[in-house]
Amino acid sequence: MLNSKSLFFLAGLFAVSATSSAQVITSRYSKLNYNYVYGAGGDTHTGGDLWESFLVEPSSTHGLSFIDSTSGTLPGDPPRPYFAESSCDLSFTTQITGALPSFTGLSSVHNTQCTGNVSGFGSALMYSNNPGNLTELQFTLARPRRYSMTGNAAQVGGGFADVTVRKWDGFTWGIFQTSLFLPGSVGNFNWAGTMPLGNYKLASSSGANAFDDSRSAHADYNLQILPSPVVINGRVTLGDYLPSMSNETITVQLKNNFGVVDTITNVPLDASGNFSVTTALAGWHWLRVRGLTWVAHNTVWYNLVDGVNNTTAITLMNGDVDGSNEVDAADIDLVIQHFGENTGSGPYFRPADLDGSTEVDASDIDVAILNFGATEN
C-alpha cells in the first residue's frame, strides 16, 4: 500500500519523463518602417525605409533611424524663411529563453520616437505606424500551460503601443489577452492563468506619427511558461501481461464535458504499475488511460488541485492489437497473421505479442479470445 510520502516520491520520479516539451516557436516576423515629408514649397523632401525579417533566432536587436533637414527662404515680399527637420529612432529587442523547440520564456521591448521640428514656414511630418515597429511570434502549445505575463504599453504625445496575444480558434485569430483593454490602452499589465493547447500569435508594436511635433511610444512584455503544478498519481494493472510492467508505457488524457483537454504520452510505469503525470489543469476532470494493446479505460471524475492528487487503481483489458479500442475478430486475425514471430530473429510485430512473452504464439490468441468484445468503458 502506497502512502502519501511514497506517492509524492513517485511524482518526482516519473513527472520529468512523462511530461515532454510542450511549446514550440513556429514563426517570427519583425518589421521596422518609417516615411517622411519635410520642407517648404519646392524644397520638399519625401522618402522612407523598410526593414523586415522572418528569421527565428534566440535573441535579436535591431534599429532604424533617420534625421535630415532643410532650410531656406520662400520667394515673396516680405521673405518667408523656413526650417524643417524630420527624425525618427526605432528599435526593438526580442529574447527567447530556452531552446526554440521547447521555450520557457519570451520577452520583447519596442521603442519608437518620431519628431517633426520646424520654424517659420517649414513643415515636417514623420510617420512610423501601421505598425512601424512590430515583432510577431507564433507558437504552438501541445499541452495546456500555466503562464505569467507582465509588461507595459505607453505613449507620449499621441503615439500607439500594443501587446496582444491571439489564439487560433479554427476560423480566426481571437484575442486571448491584450493591452488595448487597459484604460486608455496604456499602462502596466500583469496577466496569469492557464493557456489551453493550441496555436498562438504574440504581437508587440509601437508607432507614432509626428506632425510638426514630437511623439513616442513604448511596448514591452515578459512571458514566462511556468511548471505544471497539478500532480496526478495512479496505478494500473496491465491485464494478461507476463513481464514487468516497467517495460511498458501508457497514454493518459484529461477529459471534461468539452472533450480531451490534455494528453500525456509515453508515461512510464514502475514494476507495480504506478505512474505519475503533471498538468496545468485544475478542477473537475476524469482520466482516460490506455496502453499499447490495452483498451482505454475512463475513470471517475476527480476535482484536481495544485499539488498531489491520488487516483483509484484501475485494470486495463488486453487484446486490442489494431488500436481500435475494441477486441474483435480483426485483432485475432492480426495475431494469426504474425504467428510465430519473435524477438530472436526476423520480423517481430510487438502489438501481436499480447502477453509480452517475446513470441507471438497460441497464448496471445487465447488473450484475444478471453477478452473478446471488450470496449472502452
pLDDT tens-digit readout, 226-236: 999 999 999 99
Amino acid at 9: F
Residue 158: what pLDDT?
85
Please give the model's pTM, rounded to 2 decimal places.
0.86
Per-residue pLDDT band for 100 (boundaries 50, 70, 90) equals confident
d(CA 158, CA 227): 40
Whole-number Cα distances in Å, 71 to 43, 84, 120, 123, 214? 8, 6, 10, 10, 19
Element (H, E) at 367: helix 362-370
Dist. CA 277–CA 294, nearest whole Å: 19
Mean pLDDT, all residues of the chain: 93
pLDDT at 101: 87
Overall average pLDDT of the 60-70 stretch: 97
Q: Average pLDDT, stretch 138-154?
A: 97
Amino acid 130: pLDDT: 72
Domains of the chain: 4-18+228-370 (2.60.40.4130), 23-225 (no CATH)
Q: Is the pLDDT of residue 4 over 90?
A: no
Burial class (CB in 10 A: 0-12, 13-18, 19+), 272: middle
Element of type H or E holding 163? strand 160-168
Cβ–Cβ < 8 Å for 369, 332: yes
pLDDT at 187: 97
